[in-house]
């Protein structure tokens, strides 16, 4: 496959940022040509592009929009059935489809304002792969319309870095989605320096991401979902708990399978999985686990050992929980005695 010049990624970055703004407002400015007019801005390296100030990004976006408006690139209509998604997915399924429905309705009423960007499929003649613009492609497909597109000649490396730079600008991607995308880049043999540039992260952050996706299998992450309210610290704790016990992974899989047909959201699925792994007996006879309610609110921490159970409360809700446990202890003792007699 022919590898496009690095400047094509950098030139894409301004309009990748514009795509984010456009999809949030359902009226984005036009995307850019893969070969913009001459200028020294697009000759910068990927890392420089990833860390460029937002004012500079907007200035480049405006320049590229003007180029598209002036007819400097060729936009064509493409049958959505001839298009495949990017080989490097960057989103997990969303429990709430209302946002996409609003976006699709806007596209139905106002039309497609921004072309998607595609490349020729590397293995299947006559087909294309999306570089970016998955939501517009999906909306056009569901509306039964062709989609407006710009074709670029871009390698796997450039494609994945271009997506990553776009992801670095998005506000709606969760930490685990970015982590899963980093894993897909890592798995594809993308060099760490390109992953740093694509996601605008440093070595320490990539190390944290690796600690999670090496302990939590991709299918388990996909089963849990986006978990928008779950940040990096709890995913890291979850990964450590999974890695520390041989039976933890099987326990979590059983828990998620048991709740597969329930109406739980992804945050709640994470909470169930997290609680399941925290209740696995540790090989050392003790362990410290986080206590949270069904909504994910932290109540405190639980420490178990062969001779001690200790609950530490956090906040007023945690204090209420400790009082509740105290009141329930006599009933637990009675239940314990009944089961011992059986």
The full set of domains in the chain, from first to last, is 7-155 (3.90.1530.10), 174-280 (1.10.10), 290-342 (no CATH)
- pLDDT > 70? residue 66: no
Contact between 52 and 13 under an 8 Å Cβ cutoff? The reply is yes
CA-CA distance, 234 to 228, in Å (whole number)? 12
The owner of tokens 């610290």 is 233
CA-CA distance, 270 to 187, in Å (whole number)? 24
Query: 293 Cβ partners below 8 Å, 6+ apart?
Result: 299, 317
- pLDDT > 60? residue 44: no
pLDDT of residue 236: 93
Give the pairing type, strands 287-292 and 298-304: antiparallel
Does the pTM of the predicted model rise above 0.75?
Answer: no
- Between 83 and 283, the more confident residue is 83
> At 48, is the pLDDT very low, low, confident or very high (cuts 50, 70, 90)?
very low
pLDDT tens sequence across 224-258: 988 889 999 999 999 998 887 777 888 888 888 88
pLDDT of residue 131: 83
> At 16, is the pLDDT very low, low, confident or very high (cuts 50, 70, 90)?
very low
331, exposed or middle or buried, with CB in 10 Å at 0-12, 13-18, 19+? exposed
pLDDT tens sequence across 298-340: 788 887 665 678 888 888 888 888 888 888 888 888 888 887 7
> Quick one: what percent of the chain has pLDDT higher than 90?
19
Mean pLDDT of 101-113: 89
């Amino acid at each position: 496959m022919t590898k496009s010049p690095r400047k094509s990624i950098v030139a894409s970055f301004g309009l990748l940022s514009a795509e984010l703004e456009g999809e949030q407002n359902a009226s984005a400015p036009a995307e850019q040509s893969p070969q913009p007019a001459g200028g020294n801005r697009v000759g910068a390296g990927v890392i420089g592009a990833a860390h460029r100030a937002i004012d500079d990004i907007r200035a480049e976006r405006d320049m590229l929009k003007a180029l598209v408006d002036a007819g400097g690139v060729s936009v064509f209509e493409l049958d959505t059935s001839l298009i495949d998604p990017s080989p490097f997915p960057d989103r997990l399924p969303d429990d709430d489809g209302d946002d996409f429905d609003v976006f699709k309705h806007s596209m139905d009423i106002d039309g497609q304002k921004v072309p998607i960007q595609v490349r020729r499929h590397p293995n299947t003649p006559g087909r294309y792969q999306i570089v970016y613009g998955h939501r517009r492609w999906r909306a056009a497909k569901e509306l039964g319309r062709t989609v407006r597109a710009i074709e670029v000649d871009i390698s796997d490396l450039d494609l994945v870095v271009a997506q990553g730079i776009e992801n670095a600008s998005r506000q709606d991607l969760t930490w685990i989605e970015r982590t899963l995308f980093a894993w897909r880049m890592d798995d594809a043999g993308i060099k760490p320096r390109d992953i740093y540039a694509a996601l605008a992260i440093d070595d320490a952050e990539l190390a944290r991401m690796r600690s999670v996706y090496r302990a939590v299998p991709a299918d388990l992450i996909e089963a849990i979902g986006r978990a928008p309210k779950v940040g990096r610290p709890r995913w890291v704790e979850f990964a450590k708990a999974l890695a520390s016990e041989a039976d933890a992974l099987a326990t979590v899989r059983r828990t998620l399978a048991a709740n597969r047909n329930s109406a739980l959201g992804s945050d709640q699925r994470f909470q169930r999985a997290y609680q399941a792994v925290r209740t696995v007996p540790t090989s050392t006879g003790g362990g410290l686990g986080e206590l949270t309610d069904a909504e994910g609110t932290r109540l405190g921490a639980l420490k178990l050992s062969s001779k001690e159970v200790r609950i530490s409360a956090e906040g007023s809700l945690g204090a209420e929980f400790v009082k509740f446990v105290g009141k329930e202890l006599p009933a637990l003792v009675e239940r314990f005695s009944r089961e011992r007699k059986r």
